């Protein structure tokens, strides 16, 4: 049975799996991205070594999803602000270190592959994957394949300037963009803290809103409205069969889907099909592992 290793590298956590060629998880683990402080490459190597020891079969290759701009044809991380990587030849480094074939891709793109082959978009040749967590990311699967753009930056919807208010700030590649500064999980926490001087994470803010906290209700309502604006743009420009939502905010489930769908339909007279990830927590890691077999 052919197997591969997949890593989903996030700004906070790294998820890792051993999978077979059908995406079945044989082994999984999670570790903090800063386990060795800012020695991120050492952490990644250590996790891979752990997985190789756990493996009961021969490993065919190692797939890695990186939160940044990646030239997947060369395996070069063009920019990864979270780790301060620039023009890092990660594929060559991993292949030399472990003697196995490696494939490096943007983290949302590999999760998009998982949804295509194992999850909510199995029947789709045109769909969009949106992840809402610390920031907002987007993978585009169009015409039966990943669309990366001419400089590997397609899907950077976190920078969408959705209101005139966006002119008040200057946004750089290593900063949050306007859209994610209004609608991400970290944005909800920041806005609630500014209003209440309380440091509360996004999950608790949604819980407080359900319990009647008026400030939390206002924050959540505004997040839903901004998500309506941003996701409406995707439906208008791309006409996808479905938009799949992943990330921590997707754990709000049906209520989340209903509220965002209602807001989108209030803005545009087009077909709107929104659904939640089916590959869930390890989707990015599984997609990375699967990339070895595609």
Angstrom distance (rounded) from CA 263 to CA 222:
11
Q: How confident is the model at residue 53 (pLDDT cuts 50, 70, 90)?
A: very high
Residues 34 and 50 in one domain: yes
Residues 146 and 268 in one domain: yes
118, part of any domain: no
Residues 164 and 267 in one domain: yes
Residues 132 and 177 in one domain: yes
CATH number at residue 90: 3.30.420.40
State yes or no: pLDDT of 176 exceeds 80. yes
> Could you give phi then psi for residue 128, rounded to 5 degrees?
-125, 140
Residues 154 and 93 in one domain: no
Give percent above pLDDT 70 in the chain.
Answer: 100
Q: Angle 90-98/40-54 helices, nearest 10 degrees?
A: 40
Q: Which residues pair with 17 in a beta bridge?
A: 6, 28
Q: How confident is the model at residue 56 (pLDDT cuts 50, 70, 90)?
A: confident
Q: Which residues pair with 146 in a beta bridge?
A: 141
Q: What pLDDT shows up at residue 175?
A: 77
More confident residue, 139 or 134: 139
Q: What pLDDT shows up at residue 81?
A: 86
Q: How many domains does the chain have?
A: 2
State yes or no: pLDDT of 174 exceeds 80. no
Q: How confident is the model at residue 130 (pLDDT cuts 50, 70, 90)?
A: very high
Q: What pLDDT shows up at residue 248?
A: 87
Alpha carbon separation from 74 to 46, 164, 230, 253, 288 (Å, rounded): 23, 39, 31, 38, 16
194, part of any domain: yes
Residues 127 and 273 in one domain: yes
128, part of any domain: yes
Let me know if 30 is exposed, middle or buried by CB neighbors in 10 A (0-12, 13-18, 19+): middle
When pLDDT is averaged across residues 152-179 and rounded to a whole number, the result is 91
23-42 per-position pLDDT tens digit? 999 999 999 999 999 999 99
Please check whether residue 227 is in contact with residue 263, taking contact to mean a CB–CB distance below 8 angstroms.
yes
Angstrom distance (rounded) from CA 250 to CA 125:
22
Predicted TM-score (pTM) of this structure: 0.94
117, part of any domain: no
Q: Which 8-state DSSP code applies to residue 48?
A: H
Residues 286 and 259 in one domain: no
79, part of any domain: yes
Residues 193 and 51 in one domain: no
State yes or no: pLDDT of 111 exceeds 90. yes
Q: What pLDDT shows up at residue 196?
A: 97
- The b/e string for 105-115 (b: 16+ C-beta within 10 A; e otherwise) is bbbbbbbbbbb
232, part of any domain: yes
When pLDDT is averaged across residues 110-127 and rounded to a whole number, the result is 97
85, part of any domain: yes
Q: What pLDDT shows up at residue 12?
A: 84
Residues 164 and 43 in one domain: no
Residues 21 and 137 in one domain: no
Residue showing tokens 């079969």: 57
Q: What pLDDT shows up at residue 6?
A: 98
Q: Which residue, 12, 2, 25, is CA-closest to 286?
A: 25
Domain residue limits at 185? 123-277
Q: How confident is the model at residue 131 (pLDDT cuts 50, 70, 90)?
A: very high
92, part of any domain: yes
Residues 226 and 107 in one domain: no
Residues 54 and 153 in one domain: no
């Amino acid at each position: 049975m052919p197997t591969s290793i997949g890593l989903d590298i996030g700004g906070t956590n790294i998820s890792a799996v051993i999978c077979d060629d059908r995406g079945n998880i044989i082994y999984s683990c999670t570790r903090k991205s800063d386990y060795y402080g800012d020695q991120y490459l050492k952490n990644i190597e250590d996790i891979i070594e752990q997985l190789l020891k756990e493996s009961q079969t021969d490993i065919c290759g190692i797939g890695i999803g990186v939160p940044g701009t990646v030239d997947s044809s060369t395996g070069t991380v063009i920019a990864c602000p979270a780790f301060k990587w620039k023009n890092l030849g990660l594929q060559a480094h991993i292949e030399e270190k472990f003697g196995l074939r490696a494939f490096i891709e943007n983290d949302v793109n590999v999760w998009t592959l998982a949804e295509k082959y194992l999850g909510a978009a199995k029947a789709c040749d045109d769909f969009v994957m949106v992840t809402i967590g610390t920031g907002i990311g987007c993978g585009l699967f169009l015409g039966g394949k990943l669309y990366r753009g001419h400089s590997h930056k397609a899907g950077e919807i976190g920078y969408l300037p959705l209101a005139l208010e966006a002119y008040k700030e200057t946004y750089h590649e290593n900063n949050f963009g306007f859209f994610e500064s209004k609608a991400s999980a970290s944005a909800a926490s920041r806005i609630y803290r500014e209003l209440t001087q309380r440091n509360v994470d996004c999950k608790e803010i949604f819980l407080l809103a359900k319990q009647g906290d008026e400030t939390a209700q206002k924050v959540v309502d505004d997040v839903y409205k901004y998500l309506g604006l941003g996701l409406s743009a995707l439906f208008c420009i791309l006409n996808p069969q479905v938009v799949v939502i992943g990330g921590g905010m997707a754990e709000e489930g049906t209520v989340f889907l209903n509220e965002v769908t209602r807001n989108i339909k209030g803005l545009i007279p087009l077909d709107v099909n929104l659904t939640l990830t089916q590959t869930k927590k390890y989707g990015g890691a599984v997609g990375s592992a699967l990339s070895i077999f595609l």
